Structures are given as structure tokens and as C-alpha cells.
């Protein structure tokens, strides 16, 4: 008995050690028994339960570590296994008949697998190819998981009708129609994912499609973008920034020279500056791909003397916007990208060069897969001319 206890204790110690090592390494799988394992990748660690559902193998997320401990993950695994047994019994005794709760949805698919909408949401977040493309810093997993909290989360996915989706949107997001439409699109993607995985009939109409929703819930109003600072005002504004010389002023000037997005410029690090090229790492880019910017002498001068770490270390996310608003008017930092695009178009620069300068996704996915960085030098004259223009009154 004593030896058995010691052996069990050693197993638990080994598991804990393996978890610590995987988390420290930032990658790896640690099996803990009973089809439960910790999957560490990209700086996050998730508890996953791997099980057979009919002829298919499924994986269910049980939360993130260390928010969910090993003990809690095991308890959650046990509860899920018990729920699956109950669901199988319910499924075995359930045969849809005309007039039943989802006869309109299934229409001739009585043997469809049944799964709660909340469970399908979790499957989508942890297993779908679409979710695999999200950046590590993306907030999309959290936004999708919020769908689990409403009335839809408790419903069988195959039983959801357009009126159910409309009721969910009105109840939870009726006060902000823009958010309601974004969540309609998320619900639509979940239902498409469910159909592809056998949890809705192959011929089922998606209950969140826009053709039905436009008759059940109001459309969001068209957004009105904030105006960009007039192009003719930018050189004078640049002069005031350089005269101030604060970190916020310098960062805003650097943003204008490079037509970068706010976070890209604000979080710039000296390690990203190599000679007269600034290479922004993928995780900080909107498209998730590394982007290189040719730097003019004026842009380099804004940075000051090379050092280590963040170039503008003390800035909050609104500091650059505050500098723009000091100019007067309801302008945004993003407006300088619009100003650049209009200027470059008038100067005759191609759309391809303009899009590359602003790190827009251009071409097909195949085109985007190729290394386009040979165009850095082709972009350099355009960026130099832009720097000359915005510095003309400095």
C-alpha cells in the first residue's frame, strides 16, 4: 500500500514537473491521464479533453492554465464525461418526427449528431482552421466564447432557428446594432462549422444568414469615419511636433513619416531598426505578417540616438491621438494614412506601392505567400518624397 502511494505521488510530481517545463518552453503536450492533456503553444496553455464521439475523435477545451488548475481540469473532465453519457442516452432515445422541435431544420436527417451550441463554439475556437489563423494577441477567441453565455449556448445546435438568433441579438446587443451584426456573423460561422461537422443537416439553411435577419432585426447604421487632417495642414503640424520634442510628439512624427498604425509606431523597439530599414514583427501587424519600412533620413532623425529597448518607452495608447487633437478638429492618427494615400496617388505612385507602404493585404493568398521585400528599395523614393513633403515647413 505504501509503495503504491509513493508511486502515485511520484506520478503526480512527474506530471507537475512536465507541466512546468512545457510552460517554460512555450510549447508541448503533457498528458495527465483519462484523455486529459495540457497543450502549450504560442505562449498560452489550454486544458484539452480528447474523446471518441461515435466514429470520430473530438477535443474539448476545459480552460486555460494556470487559471484552471490540474485538479479543476480533472473535475471538469469528469463532469463533461458524465454529460456526454447523458447526451448519448438522450440521443439514443430521441428520434425526430414531423412537427418535432427541429424537423424544419433537419428535414430528413433523423440520425444527426446533437451538440449544444456552446460546445460547438468551443470546438470552433480550439479546432477550426479559421481560428488557427488568429494572431496570438487576437481578442476573437474571447468574443466568440461570449456567445456561449446566452440562450443560444444552451440550445441543441441543430434546433436553432432564425427567430432564436434574432431574439439573442435583440436581447444581448439590441442597444448597439453594430455589435449585433458582428455577432450575427460569428453565429453564422459557428452554424456553418456545425453543419460541416455533422451537428446540423447538410441541407439546413443557416439560421443567421442575412436574408432572414434583415426581416427580423434592424440593420446597423453606416459608420461615419473621422475626417483626416487636411493634407495641407500636415507640414505645419509636423513642425510643431518637432519643436515640442516630447516622446509623444516624436512618436507621432515617426508615425507620419512611416504611415504606420498607432500601435506599430508607439511600440517600436530599437532591435527592429537595422540601418535605414524598420522591420515590424508579425504579431504587432494587423495582417499578422512581418512588415519592413524604408526609413528616410528625417524619419531616422526623429528617433534620436540608438539605444536598447523601446524607442518611446513611456507612452500610453492614447498619447499619440492626444497630440493630433491638440491641432484642433476631430482628427485621428489613422487619418495620416489616408492623407498619404491621397498624396501618393496624386504624385502618380502605383496602387501596389501605396498598399505595400501601408501594409495592406494585396493580391491573392498565393501572391501574399511570396516574399515581397525586394520592393523596399522601390518604395524608398516614394517614402523619401513623402518625408520631404511633410517636413517642408519643419
Other beta carbons within 10 Å of 350: 12
Please state whether the peptide bond connecting residue 292 to the residue before it is cis, i.e. omega within 30 degrees of 0.
Answer: no
Task: Quickly name the fold that domain 97-223 has.
Answer: DNA polymerase; domain 1 (1.10.150)
**Beta-bridge partner residues of 279:** 292
Residue 83 has pLDDT above 90, yes or no: no
Residue 93 has pLDDT above 60, yes or no: no
Q: What is the pLDDT of residues 26-58, one digit of tens each?
A: 788 888 888 888 888 866 788 888 877 766 777
Q: CATH assignment of 13-93? A: 3.30.160.390
| Mean pLDDT of the 382-388 span | 96
Query: What CA–CA distance (Å, rounded) separates 163 from 271?
Result: 54
Question: Length of the chain, please?
Answer: 394
Q: What is the pLDDT of residues 200-249, one digit of tens each?
A: 988 888 999 988 888 888 887 776 666 788 999 999 999 999 998 899 99
pLDDT-above-70 percentage for the chain:
84
Task: Please provide the distance, in angstroms rounded to a whole number, between the alpha carbons at the two ends of the chain.
Answer: 83
Q: How does residue 293 score in pLDDT terms, banded at 50, 70 and 90?
A: very high
Domain ranges of the chain: 13-93, 97-223, 231-390
- Residue 32: closest CA among 49, 15, 20, 47: 15
Quickly list DSSP for 74-140.
HHHHHHHHHHHHHHHHHHHT----TTSTTHHHHSS-TT----BHHHHHHHHHHH-HHHHTS-TT-SH
Rounded to 5 degrees, what angle do the CA atoms 144, 150, 156 make? 90
Range picked from 4-13, 68-77, 98-107, 293-302 for highest mean pLDDT: 293-302
pLDDT given for residue 283 in this prediction = 76
Residue 281 has pLDDT above 60, yes or no: yes
pLDDT given for residue 144 in this prediction = 94
- Pair 127, 89: CB distance under 8 Å: no
Q: What is the pLDDT of residues 143-179, one digit of tens each?
A: 999 999 999 999 999 999 999 999 999 999 888 888 8
Residue 105 has pLDDT above 70, yes or no: no
Range picked from 78-82, 222-226, 293-297, 367-371 for highest mean pLDDT: 293-297
CA 302 to each of CA 82, 179, 217, 294, 322: distance values in angstroms, whole numbers, following the listed order = 62, 39, 51, 14, 19
Mean pLDDT of the chain: 82
Strand order in the sheet with 291-294: 273-274, 277-280, 291-294
Residue 306 has pLDDT above 50, yes or no: yes
Lowest mean pLDDT among 22-26, 263-267, 385-389: 22-26
- Residue 160: closest CA among 174, 168, 175: 168
- Pair 382, 357: CB distance under 8 Å: yes
Q: How does residue 370 score in pLDDT terms, banded at 50, 70 and 90?
A: very low
| Mean pLDDT of the 277-304 span | 89
Residue 297 has pLDDT above 90, yes or no: yes
Q: What is the pLDDT of residues 142-152, one digit of tens each?
A: 999 999 999 99
Please compute, for residue 112, the number of CA atoms within 13 A of its CA located in the half-sphere on the CB side: 28
- Pair 328, 338: CB distance under 8 Å: no
How do beta strands 36-41 and 28-33 pair? antiparallel
Alpha helices in the chain (DSSP H): 2-25, 70-92, 103-106, 117-127, 129-132, 140-145, 162-173, 177-196, 210-213, 234-244, 247-258, 262-266, 297-303, 319-325, 335-346, 351-357, 365-369, 376-390
Q: What is 231-390's CATH superfamily?
A: Intergrase catalytic core (1.10.443.10)
Query: What CA–CA distance (Å, rounded) separates 228 from 248?
Result: 19
- Pair 258, 293: CB distance under 8 Å: yes
Q: What is the pLDDT of residues 240-277, one digit of tens each?
A: 999 988 999 999 999 999 999 988 999 999 999 999 99
Query: What CA–CA distance (Å, rounded) separates 166 from 181?
Result: 10
Query: What CA–CA distance (Å, rounded) separates 135 from 132?
Result: 8
Q: What is the pLDDT of residues 335-368, one digit of tens each?
A: 899 999 999 999 999 998 999 999 886 554 434 4
Amino acid at each position: 500500500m505504501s509503495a503504491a502511494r509513493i508511486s502515485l505521488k511520484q506520478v503526480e510530481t512527474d506530471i507537475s514537473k512536465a507541466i512546468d517545463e512545457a510552460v517554460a518552453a512555450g510549447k508541448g503536450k503533457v498528458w495527465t491521464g483519462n484523455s486529459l492533456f495540457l497543450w502549450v503553444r504560442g505562449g498560452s496553455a489550454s486544458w484539452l479533453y480528447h474523446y471518441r464521439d461515435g466514429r470520430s475523435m473530438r477535443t474539448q477545451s476545459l480552460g486555460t492554465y494556470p487559471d484552471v488548475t490540474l485538479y479543476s481540469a480533472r473535475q471538469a473532465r469528469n463532469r463533461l464525461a458524465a454529460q456526454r453519457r447523458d447526451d448519448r442516452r438522450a440521443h439514443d432515445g430521441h428520434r425526430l418526427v414531423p412537427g418535432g422541435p427541429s424537423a424544419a431544420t433537419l428535414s430528413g436527417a433523423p440520425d444527426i449528431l446533437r451538440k449544444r451550441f456552446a460546445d460547438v463554439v468551443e470546438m470552433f475556437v480550439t479546432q477550426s482552421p479559421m481560428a488557427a489563423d488568429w494572431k496570438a494577441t487576437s481578442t476573437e477567441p474571447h468574443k466568440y466564447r461570449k456567445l456561449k453565455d446566452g440562450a443560444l449556448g444552451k440550445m441543441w445546435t441543430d434546433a436553432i432557428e432564425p427567430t432564436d438568433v434574432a431574439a439573442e441579438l435583440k436581447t444581448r446587443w439590441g442597444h448597439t446594432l453594430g455589435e449585433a451584426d458582428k455577432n450575427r456573423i460569428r453565429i453564422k460561422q459557428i452554424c456553418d462549422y456545425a453543419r460541416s461537422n455533422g451537428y446540423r443537416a447538410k441541407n439546413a439553411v443557416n439560421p443567421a444568414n442575412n436574408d432572414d435577419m434583415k426581416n427580423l432585426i434592424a440593420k446597423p447604421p453606416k459608420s461615419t469615419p473621422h475626417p483626416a487632417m487636411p493634407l495641407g495642414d500636415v507640414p505645419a503640424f509636423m513642425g510643431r511636433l518637432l519643436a515640442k520634442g516630447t516622446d509623444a510628439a516624436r512618436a507621432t512624427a515617426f508615425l507620419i513619416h512611416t504611415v504606420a498604425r498607432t500601435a506599430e509606431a508607439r511600440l517600436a523597439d530599437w532591435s527592429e531598426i537595422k540601418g535605414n530599414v524598420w522591420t515590424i514583427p508579425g504579431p504587432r501587424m494587423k495582417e499578422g505578417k512581418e512588415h519592413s519600412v524604408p526609413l528616410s533620413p528625417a524619419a531616422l532623425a526623429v528617433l534620436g540616438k540608438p539605444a536598447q529597448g523601446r524607442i518611446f518607452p513611456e507612452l500610453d495608447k492614447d498619447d499619440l491621438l492626444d497630440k493630433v487633437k491638440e491641432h484642433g478638429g476631430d482628427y485621428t492618427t489613422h487619418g495620416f494614412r489616408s492623407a498619404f494615400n491621397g498624396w501618393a496617388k496624386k504624385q502618380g505612385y502605383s496602387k501596389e506601392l501605396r498598399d505595400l507602404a501601408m501594409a495592406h493585404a494585396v493580391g491573392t493568398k498565393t501572391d501574399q505567400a511570396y516574399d515581397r521585400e525586394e520592393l523596399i528599395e522601390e518604395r524608398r523614393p516614394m517614402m523619401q518624397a513623402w518625408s520631404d513633403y511633410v517636413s517642408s515647413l519643419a
